[in-house]
Amino acid sequence: MNLAQRAAELLSLEGKVAIVTGAASGIGRGIALRLAEFGAAIAVLDIDQRGGLEVLEKIESRGGHALFSKCDVASTCECRAAGAHVIEKMQRIDILCNCAGIAIRKDVVELTEEEWDRALNITLKSVYLLSHEVVPHMIRNGGGNIINIGSGWSLKGGPRAASYCAAKGGVVNLTRAMAIDHAKHNIRVNCVCPGDVETPMLFSECEQLGQNRAAFLREAANRPLGRLGTPDDIANAVLFLASPMASWVTGAALVVDGGGLA
């Protein structure tokens, strides 16, 4: 086996089935496409049916296998139905990437209780709901791999982002707890913590704050590597954690932020 073959083997996801939440756009879309590129069949979960179907079609146009399941990740019933749909159509679940989330740019005084609940339900509770459905299948399968998407603000505070920081901080510590609980089941659980990534969600934050987009993006890129992240940057980190190359990595919070927290 030559070096190129060995590298391909270490990153191969052939025969694996991956669920990616929030996969209709932004980081989730990038992750779904990257995992499909390396051989995984992808279950695209999102409340955005149009965007989700576009991702499905893109995967299939490249020779991959995918399904779309419309899912409100804050709903117990819809998460249960989505998990059952994937098992029915694909027979197994090897990888779960919990990427769905929202950012409401308000401090605790500005934030309503409804907004707090919505932010925590979509960003944090969803990790629990999907894991609750998927982990039993992984145990029966002999193992699996869960990658949660946190944030640089999982590890430090940020301005006017109280619910987002709380939810993403919870994602990191939930990741650690799950890694401890399920190592005995051969399930690895890790977290990727992105910095500012050029996505529709980042543009939404700019609008919420009422800032000039060019100035906002310039400030967001002000980090040692001198640029914003891309969905591919985060997808590559998820690929590493999902692959055999990371076989002894669990409970980690991998920061991918161009040096922003350095």
Is 164 among the catalytic positions?
A: yes
Side-chain half-sphere CA neighbours of 70 within 13 A: 6
Nearest CA-CA partner of 120 in 136, 132, 135, 108: 108
Q: Which helix (H) or strand (E) holds 68?
A: strand 66-70
DSSP string, 172-192: HHHHHHHHHHHGGGTEEEEEE
| Catalytic residue chosen out of the listed positions 30, 74, 97, 164 | 164
Q: Which two tokens stand for residue 216?
A: 């906002």
Q: List, in order, residues 6 or more apart from 232 with CB less than 8 Å away.
A: 30, 34
Three-class secondary structure of residue 251 per DSSP = coil
List, by residue number, the catalytic residues. Answer: 164
